[in-house]
């Protein structure tokens, strides 16, 4: 390692909180599309996209140019103090592009967790009820309420209690866990039965304000639920006056080949939480949904100092334009197909490749112990680490830490994709071929 690397590493270790995780200790210098260069001149292909934040890629030229102009106008007058056009236009645009043929409104915030918190606040106010239902394996953030709604105990919850009251986690199907004896259809029916039982055994539906569901579980390992299950959840909401919240923070903005993943299930959620790829890397989030529900909160009850920052709103308006102009929904599908084909192609070479899942460009592969079929977190970590060392930024996920997930910018070029997949193939062969038989 160079002197410069050691210098930054020392500062990181001495002054930055240990609780903040780093995939590696390189220091970014410039980034464009799906490529990052560090201060030492190393190049990385980015399959992490700032954890799903960069569907339009790093420093998209149109966004960068536009924001430079915006910077000269004003930075943050504060929407609660004086309005500005970008917030208004984005609020309108989000109501237009989200599913649901009804009057909608938007509130803009900063982070994903803040959007989920606000969706719950709004649902509680609207229904006059307290209980919140999320799902096993779900991830919704790191604040007290969203941590309480999240599943994975380590590292997200361990030692951080007490958790928020009136939060309950319902079952969510994972076809990889289906018992061999059951057909897929029978397994889904069984989970729906468990869901119905949950509303008898755990919480009464008439006390539930909202059900918050990731249409595809992100941190949980890119778990894609059966359509019948999602429809069953929606039906329970409709029958019991529960607000259905689709948490699209990771799945939104073309990642799954549709602007919002919930569209794959032909469902119109009452509220949708958005963030991450909404603003090309700027901290921005929002809750969009039925006007009647959103307006149950009175003036002053929602908001925040930086919520709906104008630079972030300008970036988001451009993102929405770019998704359409560059046909990113179609690109997501093609990109996903290529990554899936690559993974299918190497399965015969290694016994450690477990289930492969895909919806659009949301692709994941499980790494398992071939002897037992059990998740192999340590091996997954080694593959990710080796890929990182060789110039590919890659992320793991999954409740058992054995899932490699792909969140590359959707604008990734063929050359960048091939270079990334080559590095990944080398990482697989370096790590997996060394496994004892």
340 scored as a contact of ligand PLP (CB under 6 A): no
Min CB(252)–ligand PLP separation in Å:
9
255 scored as a contact of ligand PLP (CB under 6 A): no
Print the binding letters for residues 20-59 with ligand PLP: x by CB under 6 A, - otherwise: -------------------------------x--------
Q: Are 106 and 288 a contacting pair, CB within 8 Å? A: yes
Q: Are 149 and 132 a contacting pair, CB within 8 Å? A: yes
Min CB(140)–ligand PLP separation in Å:
5
Between residues 39 and 136, which has the closer beta carbon with respect to ligand PLP?
136
| Distance from C-alpha of 262 to C-alpha of 227, rounded to nearest angstrom | 10
| E-assigned strand segments in 283-379 | 285-290, 353-359, 362-367
Min CB(193)–ligand PLP separation in Å:
26
Site for ligand PLP in 184-213 (CB under 6 A): none
Q: Are 137 and 247 a contacting pair, CB within 8 Å? A: no
249 scored as a contact of ligand PLP (CB under 6 A): yes
280 scored as a contact of ligand PLP (CB under 6 A): no
Which of 44, 84, 87, 139 is close enough to bind ligand PLP by CB under 6 A? 139
Q: Is the peptide bond before 268 cis (omega within 30 degrees of 0)?
A: no
Collapsed DSSP state (helix, strand, coil) of residue 123: helix
Q: Are 190 and 232 a contacting pair, CB within 8 Å? A: no
247 scored as a contact of ligand PLP (CB under 6 A): yes
Which of 58, 140, 318, 358 is close enough to bind ligand PLP by CB under 6 A? 140
Which of 38, 46, 214, 263 is close enough to bind ligand PLP by CB under 6 A? 214
Region of residue 51 (left: phi > 0; alpha: psi -120 to 50; beta: else): left
Which of 111, 169, 296, 380 is close enough to bind ligand PLP by CB under 6 A? 111
Reduced to 3 DSSP states, what percent helix, strand and coil does the chain have, rounded to the nearest 5? 45, 20, 40
116 scored as a contact of ligand PLP (CB under 6 A): yes
Min CB(277)–ligand PLP separation in Å:
11
Q: Is the peptide bond before 27 cis (omega within 30 degrees of 0)?
A: no
Which of 49, 218, 375, 391 is close enough to bind ligand PLP by CB under 6 A? 218
Binding-site size for ligand PLP (CB under 6 A) equals 15
Between residues 117 and 333, which has the closer beta carbon with respect to ligand PLP?
117
Q: Which helix (H) or strand (E) holds 71?
A: helix 61-73
Strands 131-135 and 208-213, bridge-based pairing? parallel
Q: Which helix (H) or strand (E) holds 51?
A: helix 49-52
Collapsed DSSP state (helix, strand, coil) of residue 365: strand
| Distance from C-alpha of 407 to C-alpha of 387, rounded to nearest angstrom | 15
169 scored as a contact of ligand PLP (CB under 6 A): no
275 scored as a contact of ligand PLP (CB under 6 A): yes
Interacting residues with ligand PLP (CB under 6 A): 51, 111-113, 116, 139-141, 214, 218-219, 247, 249-250, 275
């Amino acid at each position: 390692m160079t002197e410069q690397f050691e210098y930054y590493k020392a500062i990181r270790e001495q002054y930055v909180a240990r609780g903040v995780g780093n995939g590696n200790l390189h220091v970014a210098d410039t980034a464009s599309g799906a490529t990052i260069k560090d201060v030492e001149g190393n190049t990385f292909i980015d399959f992490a996209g700032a954890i799903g934040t960069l569907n339009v890629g790093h420093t998209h030229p149109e966004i960068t140019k536009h924001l430079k102009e915006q910077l000269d106008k004003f930075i943050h007058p504060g929407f609660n103090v004086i309005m500005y056009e970008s917030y208004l236009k984005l609020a309108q645009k989000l109501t237009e592009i989200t599913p649901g043929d009804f009057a909608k409104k938007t509130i803009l915030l900063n982070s994903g967790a803040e959007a989920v918190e606000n969706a719950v606040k709004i649902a509680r106010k609207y229904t006059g009820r307290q209980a919140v239902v999320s799902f096993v394996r779900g991830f919704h953030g790191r604040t007290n309420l969203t941590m309480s709604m999240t599943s994975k105990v380590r590292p997200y919850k361990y030692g951080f209690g007490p958790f928020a009251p009136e939060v309950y986690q319902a079952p969510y199907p994972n076809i990889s866990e289906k018992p061999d004896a059951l057909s897929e259809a029978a397994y889904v029916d069984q989970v729906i039965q468990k869901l119905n039982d949950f509303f008898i055994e755990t919480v009464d539906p008439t006390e539930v304000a909202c059900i918050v569901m990731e249409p595809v579980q992100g941190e949980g390992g890119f778990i894609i639920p059966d359509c019948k299950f999602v429809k069953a959840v929606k039906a329970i909401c409709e029958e019991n006056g529960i607000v259905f919240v689709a948490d699209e923070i990771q799945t939104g903005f073309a990642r799954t080949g549709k602007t919002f993943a919930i569209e794959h299930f032909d469902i119109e959620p009452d509220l949708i939480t958005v963030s991450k790829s909404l603003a090309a890397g700027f901290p921005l989030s929002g809750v969009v949904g039925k006007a009647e529900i959103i307006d149950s909160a009175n003036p002053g009850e929602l908001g925040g100092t930086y919520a709906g920052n104008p630079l972030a709103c300008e970036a988001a308006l451009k993102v929405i334009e770019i998704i359409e102009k560059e046909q990113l929904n179609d690109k997501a599908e093609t990109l996903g197909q290529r990554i899936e084909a690559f993974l299918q192609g190497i399965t015969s070479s290694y016994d450690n490749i477990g289930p492969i899942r895909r919806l659009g460009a949301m692709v994941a592969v499980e790494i398992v112990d071939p002897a037992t079929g059990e998740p192999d977190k340590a091996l997954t970590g080694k593959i990710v680490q080796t890929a990182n060392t060789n110039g590919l930024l890659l992320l793991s996920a999954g409740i058992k830490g054995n899932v490699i997930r792909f969140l590359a910018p959707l604008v990734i070029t063929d050359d960048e994709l091939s270079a990334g997949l080559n590095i990944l193939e080398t990482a697989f062969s370096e790590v997996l071929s060394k496994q004892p038989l």
